[in-house]
Amino acid sequence: MTVLKKKLKPYLKNTIFGILFTIALGTFLHFTYDISGKSPFVGAFSAVNESVWEHLKLLFIPFFIYTIVSYFTLKNRSENFLLSSAIGVIFGMLFIVIGFYAYTAIVGHSILPVDIALFVLACMFSFLMRNYLIRNNAFDSVFSEYIGMALFIFLLLLFVVFTFYPPDLAMFSNPEEGLK
pLDDT for residue 1 = 46
pLDDT digits (tens, 9 = 90+) for 90-138: 999 999 999 999 999 999 999 999 999 999 999 999 999 999 998 888 7
pLDDT for residue 180 = 37
**Overall size of the chain counted in residues:** 180
Q: What is the pTM of this model?
A: 0.90
pLDDT for residue 179 = 38
Q: Is 144 exposed, middle or buried (0-12, 13-18, 19+ CB in 10 A)?
A: buried
pLDDT digits (tens, 9 = 90+) for 34-92: 999 999 999 999 999 999 999 999 999 999 999 999 999 887 778 889 999 999 999 99
